[in-house]
């Protein structure tokens, strides 16, 4: 031990995805054991391991929004850490900009950074140069992976493949997770929504009928088992459904429409009529908005006495010239 000085060492570990972390011996454990062994090998230099674990399982290295990393920063700022040990440099960060901020924090508090497998530390200039070179390649690798993923998803969409996301009303995710399959009961609800809108020619009246028939948005369960219960439709979610080309067996991607692999549940003719009705209603709403640009003086102040939602101002004209302004609950505007 040189000069009898003690260096308190923290091992930081990270894994981008949570898959496999439930195992007794996972990559976080392997990284930590490698770090502990390296610290033990430097015992003669006064290196000692701190008891606290800094493990981020299921967090990307592309940003610094990681709980264990934040704890590590706090302990460094409080003077509890002298050396940070990682298995590889990209475990700490894959972003050159973020890494520069981290190293700046380390230097401010006189903390060294050591990578077990890349054999360098930031106490000398050569170590810092090597670090920047390695990190540049780590960021390049991350960007190449992102580009390949985007290209792969773009190609899949153009071929009409489902590439994941939240399932929509009328469809379930296939057992193998590769596409969408029709949910017959929900498909009938979707047809009812389209027919109701064409019959009433009104989004608010359609919402009232859907509420009466208890037709709700999609209920679905995540891979982790969390249940999302379908809520009542609003004007925005109703419009989104009525404009969704997935219901005619097509996919919209970057302004283009491609044939999809999944089965259609709405006739193309019905979908086209709905689009025309939506366009007509939109023109009418736009004209109404142009006619009045004056907001109510009490907007944002008045709240509904029944549901405690904000009130929004509306107006009507009588006699051709006289304008009468009034306030309506936003729930009434959105849901009828």
**Tens-digit pLDDT profile for residues 9-26:** 999 999 988 877 778 788
d(CA 51, CA 35): 13
Residues 190-216, buried b or exposed e (16+ Cβ, 10 A)?
bbebbebbeeeeebeebbebbeeeebe
Query: What tens digit of pLDDT does each residue of 108-167 get?
Result: 999 988 888 876 666 666 666 766 776 676 677 778 888 887 887 788 777 778 777 788
pLDDT for the residue 225: 78
Other Cβ atoms within 10 Å of 335 Cβ, number: 20
Mean pLDDT, the chain, whole residue set: 82
Q: What angle do CA 93, 73, 111 make, to 5 degrees?
A: 85
d(CA 84, CA 8): 9
Nearest in space to 250 (alpha carbons), one of 263, 241, 260: 260
Residue 267 DSSP class: -
Nearest in space to 150 (alpha carbons), one of 18, 256, 260, 254: 254
Helices (H) and strands (E) in the chain, counts: 9, 14
pLDDT for the residue 302: 76
pTM of this structure: 0.49
d(CA 214, CA 225): 25
Work out the pLDDT band at 315, boundaries 50, 70, 90: low
Q: Which two tokens stand for residue 142?
A: 């991350």
d(CA 15, CA 287): 54
Strands (E), 97-193: 112-115, 120-121, 171-173, 180-182
Classify 23 as helix, strand or coil.
Answer: coil
Residue 81 in this model has a pLDDT that exceeds 60: yes
Is the Cβ–Cβ distance between 251 and 245 less than 8 Å?
A: yes
Is the Cβ–Cβ distance between 271 and 277 less than 8 Å?
A: no
Count of alpha carbons within 13 Å of 126, Cβ hemisphere only?
A: 3
Residue 1 in this model has a pLDDT that exceeds 60: no
Work out the pLDDT band at 204, boundaries 50, 70, 90: confident
pLDDT for the residue 290: 46
Percent of the chain with pLDDT over 70: 83
Q: Which two tokens stand for residue 267?
A: 């006739």
The residues pairing with 303 across neighbouring beta strands, listed in sequence order, are: 310
Work out the pLDDT band at 70, boundaries 50, 70, 90: very high
Query: What tens digit of pLDDT does each residue of 255-314 get?
Result: 788 888 889 999 999 999 999 988 877 655 555 444 444 556 666 677 777 777 777 777
d(CA 136, CA 1): 35
Work out the pLDDT band at 86, boundaries 50, 70, 90: very high
pLDDT for the residue 85: 93
- Span 225-243, mean pLDDT? 89
Work out the pLDDT band at 183, boundaries 50, 70, 90: very high
Residue 319 in this model has a pLDDT that exceeds 70: no
pLDDT for the residue 147: 84
Which comes out higher in pLDDT, residue 19 or 29?
29
From residue 5, how far is each of 63, 72, 81, 127 by CA, in Å?
Answer: 34, 22, 13, 22
pLDDT for the residue 73: 95
Which comes out higher in pLDDT, residue 73 or 102?
73
In sequence order, the 6+-apart residues with CB closer than 8 A to the CB of 218 are 166, 167, 168, 169, 186, 228, 230
Residue 232 in this model has a pLDDT that exceeds 70: yes
- Span 231-254, mean pLDDT? 90
Is the Cβ–Cβ distance between 312 and 327 less than 8 Å?
A: yes
Q: Which two tokens stand for residue 257?
A: 């429409």
Count of alpha carbons within 13 Å of 102, Cβ hemisphere only?
A: 28
pLDDT for the residue 280: 79
Percent of the chain with pLDDT over 90: 35
Classify 54 as helix, strand or coil.
Answer: strand
């Amino acid at each position: 031990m040189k000069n009898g000085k003690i260096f308190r060492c923290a091992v930081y570990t990270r894994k981008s995805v949570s898959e496999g972390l439930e195992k007794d011996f996972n990559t976080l454990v392997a990284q930590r054991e490698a770090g502990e062994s390296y610290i033990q090998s430097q015992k003669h230099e006064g290196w000692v391991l701190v008891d606290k674990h800094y493990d981020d399982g299921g967090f990307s290295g592309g940003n610094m929004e990681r709980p264990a990393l934040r704890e590590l920063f706090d302990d460094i700022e409080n003077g509890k850490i002298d050396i940070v040990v990682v298995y590889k440099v990209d475990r700490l960060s894959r972003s050159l900009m973020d890494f520069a901020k981290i190293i700046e924090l380390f230097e401010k508090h006189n903390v060294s950074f050591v990578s077990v497998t890349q054999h360098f530390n930031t106490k000398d200039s050569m170590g810092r140069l090597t670090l920047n070179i390695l990190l540049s390649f780590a960021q390049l690798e991350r960007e190449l992976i992102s580009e390949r993923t985007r290209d792969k998803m773009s190609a899949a969409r153009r071929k009409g493949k489902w590439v994941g996301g939240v399932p929509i009303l009328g469809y379930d995710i296939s057992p193998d997770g590769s596409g969408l399959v029709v949910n017959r009961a929900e498909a009938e609800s979707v047809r009812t929504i389209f027919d109701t809108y064409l019959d009433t020619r009104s989004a608010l009246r359609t919402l009232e009928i859907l509420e009466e028939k208890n037709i709700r948005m999609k209920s679905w369960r995540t891979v982790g088992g969390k249940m999302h219960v379908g809520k009542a439709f609003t004007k925005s979610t109703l419009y989104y459904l009525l404009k969704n080309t997935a219901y005619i067996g097509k996919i919209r991607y970057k302004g283009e429409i491609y044939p999809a692999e999944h089965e259609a549940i709405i006739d193309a003719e019905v979908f086209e009529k709905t689009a025309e009705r939506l366009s007509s209603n939109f023109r009418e709403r736009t004209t109404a908005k142009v006619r009045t640009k004056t907001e109510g003086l009490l907007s944002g102040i008045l709240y509904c006495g029944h549901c405690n939602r904000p009130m929004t101002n509306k107006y009507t004209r009588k006699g051709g010239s006289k304008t009468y302004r009034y306030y309506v609950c936003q729930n009434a505007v959105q849901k009828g």
